[in-house]
Structure 1
Amino acid sequence: MTTDQIQLVKSTVPILKEHGVLLTSHFYKRMFVHNPELKHVFNMGNQQNSKQQTALAMAVLAYAEHIENPAVLMPAVDHIGHKHTSLDIRPEHYAIVGQHLIASISEVLGDAASPELLEAWTLAYQQLAAIMSGHEQKIYSQQTAKKGGWTGWRPFVVCERVKESNEITSFYLYPSDGGDVADYLPGQYISLRLFLPELNLLQPRQYSISCSPNGKYYRISVKREAGSKHPDGMISNRLHDHIYAGDIVELTAPAGSFVLNKQTPSRKVFISGGVGQTPLLSMLEDIVAKPDTQGVPPVTWIHGCRSEQVHAFKDKIAEICTSYKQLDQHIFYENEQSPAKNHYQGRVELEILKNEILKPETDYYICGPAPFISKHYEFLIANGVPVETIHFEEFGPASLQLN
């Protein structure tokens, strides 16, 4: 790209800040009209709740702002790349997206979209597509290099269902071909695909693996979305209502960049809300199963949910506390009091636990709804915790820009 073309792209930053979601909403509508087959690839629930449009608008804006040095976006590229490989996104999809993105810029901006601006954005998009697809090819190569690794969709059989609470059920998934199960990093997720008769579409959803690597199966722990007929909850509810032992589901290989840091034996603090505990449970199980050779790291487990009835894995965590003396847990119930030790009424408040958790050489992992993550991230930052020691996972398309 020439200097003038770079400046043309940067000149659209104010427009993207103000009208980015309008542009991306137009883009998705246009793409699904002309390429309806992509409805099987994209989460249509995220289309209805505008999460996908917002996430794309933020990504396009960030790229325009940093087009002179896109290397600074590599953490975001890696995060998105894992999402894309988990959805089996391939280079040919980028060509379709590019066609509709440039057309949308022209249609939304109207007379302001000069031929020079459209040419600059075409080159900018091609550069971004090359960066993204190149990084994703590396992830695909890493997946296939593993024992039992694969790319694309692979059939797995549900061998067991376990009710963990009034809302959450675990599904134990084994390869239907009897082959090996690819290893993964604690905290990663898999994509699961089912056919939804209500939409007449195949639909993918991403679920954290809720157990530590074991070489035999993957376990996902899924929350029922009570009363939900919205596409956002249809796959979760279909798993609860229609998928039983012996049924087949399709999975992509484990992916994700929200993973346990094993490089240091630092103290770990896990902070979760509701079903957000699932990736943290995988991390915790891995720690207690394979203590670091440099020492046994102290762990603090902080979890919040509405009540004991919807509290999944409470017996499992209590069992780990008994055997792993370096683990302390603190439980917050919004709707009830509990006589148990280290149980509190109300939502999670880190202020109550600051003397225990605000210590040097500590890694913090937060998972839950976006407001939950923001609240506790901001508390840690306000109390002097280094940003590089705070890790978080937001379920769904990324909408938080905290780090």
Structure 2
Amino acid sequence: MIDSLALAIKLVGVGFLIVATVGLLRFDDPFQRMHAATKAGTLGAGLVLIGTMLNKGSMDAALTGGLTLLFLLLTIPVASHLLARAAYISGAQLAGVGNADALRDVIDRFEEPIEKKLERVADAGRPFGATGLARGFAGSGPGPVTTDPVLAGLTGGDFASLKDAIAPERVRFAAVGGGVPLLAHRAADFAARTGRPLTAVIAVDTRYVDATGDSAATMRAIRDRVCCWLPDLRDVFQEKGVPLDLVYEEGDAEALMSGVGDAREFLVLPTAGWADHGVDIATPHATKEPDGLLRIANAHPGPVMYAVDEQKSGPVVVSFDNSYDIWRAMDLALVEGLWSMSELRIVGFVDDDIRAEIERRAEEAGVPVVFVVADSAPRGGPLIPADVARDAVAVILPDLPRPLRTRWYGMFWQDKISPGWRGDVLVWT
């Protein structure tokens, strides 16, 4: 009887091991494979051990099997968790998660898997970034291979060809909150100066609406709030002489504001606010306040400017890391004249070749350039020293600081760029 019971337990254990093996082979991402190895795998191995202990029927077998089972229970879940955490931080694919990633505001994470970065390096035939994106524009051989359709295959090294390649073809403005009319001036000014068509998107976050106690009342409050400033928004564009393509949508606010994946679209966003439009209604069915503004930069393939209400003239600081993203963002600012720059400040290490290339670009744009030697920013500290950014009107970054929330334990997100600094932020990730 005991032998039959032991055999049955072993067979069930082997079945769970087979299930775990199939899961490891078939699941799409390391996190699903972790569940297969941790749960089904541990349960299957444990059942095989229990069946073996019953079959042996001795104290030595029971002691050895019990210690082995305890070792499995203590080590496999911990090891799987550590591997999954490492995979998450490295940017591994999240299959089927979509926008439901609960850790994206908690743990720093690379937005792109390392395998894709290595593929770009291999395709380029040399480590990308040796002389930067603009070096390829300058005609020092073939331009860098890129998956970006705007920059791929660029020929010619003059300022005009660079502008033709990276200048946006249209402007998109996300109308969020009560400060919309003031920020609308910034988007309308750029569209009027460059002659680009402008689309104003009014998005309503239905996930926020559903998380409130009375979704119907919340939706009415949001619509009333939008109706209050909508006439002012129309007046701004009429004053600037810019045709207004106005879009009102309710749904996934991040997707609605980021657009449909157009790399030639210049997206203007506020530095604070969300698609709840400031109605300030409690969300008892949600664990945190609605805040997806900073995540839009990663969803939008084109340049994104988080703009303050008033455009000013002054220095522009570039947090330079010689990456693909910082080169094209900096080049865009120079060729389009996004700000009236008194000087361009480059913060970060540059070699002689990169310095010469940046100086040439700045000279073509008629902007003086200053290279600032600063200590590397400590992990978790500000990206740019306070004395460098104090009088800057804008900062160009290769990526936004983490976590991607406008307020984190009471700290405004621009304080992570430089303490107390407020201004425009340009990214192109």
Q: TM-score, normalised by structure 1?
A: 0.30
Highest Rg: 1 or 2? 2
Q: TM-score, normalised by structure 2?
A: 0.29
Higher strand share: 1
